[in-house]
């Protein structure tokens, strides 16, 4: 039988998870914007807006320590970080464009060399996704093969119903375990009719066709025409659920400090600058081209996945109005 949870019980679930000392992260009003933030109570959860930034940082923090070093009695000592201290976490209330991103990033983070910082957080996290009823004109998840009701990436998937409750579907064992551990909050039954999902104007793009065009048009006037206006601010990458470029730097003195991994962006002018001064991607349109190529060709070549969830955040955030969905539609129509 399908299971139902009322909105109050969903908030009660958060209260219980917080009491169990789990890190519960979900959309929360923070000042004037909604962000994914740690929830201290069920009442913190905001379900009527798409958070400004993606939920990626729960698994892949903006900045994290990857080792510490200290000189003791003249000898340098390097210490690993204790990943066993990473908390058991529940991401709750993520729409498919956010819930789906770790399922995409798992590929690069577990490929050959394993990034245990990311993977340990993934192992210790449960994602409660929610069908999206709050998108806007910038949303284009359908265009890249997701949908407002896509379960991909969610462990437990909630569908908002017209009576204010949620239909629940345990997608993975983690989702089943979450329901089983709090069975009293869930009721069996079909429930009311679902609320209407976001009505997106975009149609599903032919990603195979787009990839083929990208393969054949590395040099194309499109890049200069569209992408030269990019100012290289990196907002699109920092706000994206799927971008994963990073840098590594030390913070501290030569005797005592930490080494940190932190987000970077291929749109930044110095991202590929060689020590010699030679820069393979020396102008902005080449850097923007790389962004599109990485998402719709290179990642697919390597991992068989598109590195975009169609959340539309890059469109909303771009200070010069670059619209990735529009570019894809242009390519799709060629």
For another protein, which is the closer residue by CB, 133 or 268? 268
Q: Which of 20, 32, 13, 28 is nearest to 58 (CA)?
A: 28
Q: Which of residues 192-231 bind another protein (CB under 8 A)?
A: 218
> How would you list the strands of the sheet with 125-130, edge to edge?
33-38, 23-30, 89-94, 125-130, 156-160, 166-170, 3-5, 187-188
Q: Are 109 and 42 in contact (CB under 8 A)?
A: no
Q: Is 233 in the site for another protein (CB under 8 A)?
A: no
Measured CA angle at 29 (ends 106, 53), to 5 deg? 30
User: Which CB atom, from 7 or from 116, has the smaller least distance to another protein?
Assistant: 116
Cβ atoms of residues 129 and 44 within 8 Å: no
Pairing between β-strand 256-263 and β-strand 63-72 as defined by DSSP bridges: antiparallel
Q: Which two tokens stand for residue 237?
A: 């990458």
Cβ contact 287:232 at 8 Å: yes
CB 317 to another protein: min, Å = 19
CB of 6 to another protein, least distance (A): 42
Which 68-87 residues touch another protein, going by CB under 8 A?
Answer: 69, 75-76, 78, 80-81
Is residue 253 a contact point for another protein (CB under 8 A)? yes
Is residue 49 close enough to count as binding another protein by CB under 8 A? no
* Region from 17-25, 268-276, 315-323, 324-332 binding another protein, contact rule CB under 8 A: 268-276
Q: Which of 103, 177, 245, 283 binds another protein (CB under 8 A)?
A: 245
**Least distance in angstroms from the C-beta of 220 to another protein:** 12
Q: What share of the chain is helix, strand, coil (3-state, %, to 5)?
A: 35, 20, 45
Least gap, CB of 224 to another protein (angstroms): 15
> Which tokens sit at 139?
């949303």
Confirm or reject binding of residue 255 to another protein (CB under 8 A). yes
- 155 or 264: CB nearest another protein: 264
Paired tokens of 20: 């169990």
Min. distance of Cβ 169 from another protein in angstroms? 32
The CB density around residue 114, as the number of other CB atoms within 10 Å, is: 11
| Choice from 254, 320, 321, 333 touching another protein (CB under 8 A) | 254
Give the shortest CB-296-to-another protein separation in angstroms: 11
> Which of 8, 250, 269, 319 contacts another protein by CB under 8 A?
250
Query: What backbone torsions phi and psi does residue 139 show, to the nearest 5 degrees?
Result: -65, 140
Neighbours of 265 (CB within 10 A): 20
273 or 332: whose CB is closer to another protein?
A: 273
CB 271 within 8 A of CB 265: yes
**CB-CB contact of 266 with 295 (8 Å):** no
Pick the closest to residue 117 from 71, 190, 183, 67 (CA basis). Answer: 67
Collapsing DSSP states into helix, strand and coil, what is residue 8?
Answer: helix
Nearer Cβ to another protein (171/293): 293
Pick between residue 112 and residue 193 the one whose CB is nearest to another protein: 112
DSSP 85: G
As measured in angstroms, the least distance from the Cβ of 327 to another protein is 18
Smaller CB distance to another protein: residue 39 or 109? 109
Q: How many residues bind another protein (CB under 8 A)?
A: 51
Q: Binding marks (x or -) toward another protein, 111..150, rule CB under 8 A?
A: xxxxxxx---------------------------------
Residues that bind another protein (CB under 8 A): 66-67, 69, 75-76, 78, 80-81, 108-109, 111-117, 218, 244-250, 252-255, 257, 259, 261, 264, 266, 271-276, 278, 280-281, 286, 290, 293-294, 297-298, 301-302
């Amino acid at each position: 039988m399908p299971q139902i949870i009322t909105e109050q019980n969903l908030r009660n679930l958060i209260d219980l998870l917080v009491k169990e000392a789990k890190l519960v992260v979900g959309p929360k009003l923070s000042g004037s914007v909604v962000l994914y933030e740690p929830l201290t109570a069920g009442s913190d959860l905001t379900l009527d807006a798409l958070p400004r930034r993606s939920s990626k940082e729960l698994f892949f923090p903006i900045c994290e320590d990857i080792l510490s070093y200290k000189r003791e009695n003249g000898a340098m000592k390097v210490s690993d970080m204790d990943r066993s201290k990473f908390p058991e976490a529940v991401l709750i209330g993520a729409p498919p464009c956010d819930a789906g991103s770790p399922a995409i990033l798992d590929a690069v983070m577990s490929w050959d060399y394993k990034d245990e910082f990311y993977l340990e957080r993934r192992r210790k996290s449960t994602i409660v996704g929610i069908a999206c009823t709050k998108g806007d004109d910038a949303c284009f998840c359908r265009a890249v093969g997701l949908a407002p009701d896509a379960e991909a990436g969610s462990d437990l998937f909630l569908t908002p119903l017209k009576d204010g409750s949620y239909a629940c579907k345990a997608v993975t064992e983690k989702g089943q375990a979450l329901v089983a551990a709090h069975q009293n909050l869930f009721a069996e039954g079909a429930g009311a009719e679902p609320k209407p999902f976001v009505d997106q104007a975009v149609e599903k793009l032919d990603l195979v066709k787009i990839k083929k065009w990208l393969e054949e048009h590395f040099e194309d006037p499109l890049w200069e025409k569209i992408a030269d206006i990019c100012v290289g601010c990196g907002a699109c990458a920092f706000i994206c659920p799927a971008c994963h470029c990073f840098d590594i730097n030390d913070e501290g003195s030569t005797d005592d400090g930490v080494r940190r991994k932190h987000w970077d962006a291929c749109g930044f002018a110095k991202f590929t600058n060689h020590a010699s001064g030679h820069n393979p991607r020396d102008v902005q349109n080449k850097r923007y081209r790389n962004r599109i190529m990485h998402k719709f060709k290179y990642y697919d070549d390597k991992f068989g996945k598109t590195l975009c969830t169609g959340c539309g955040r890059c469109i909303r955030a771009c200070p010069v109005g670059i619209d990735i969905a529009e570019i894809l539609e242009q390519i799709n129509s060629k």
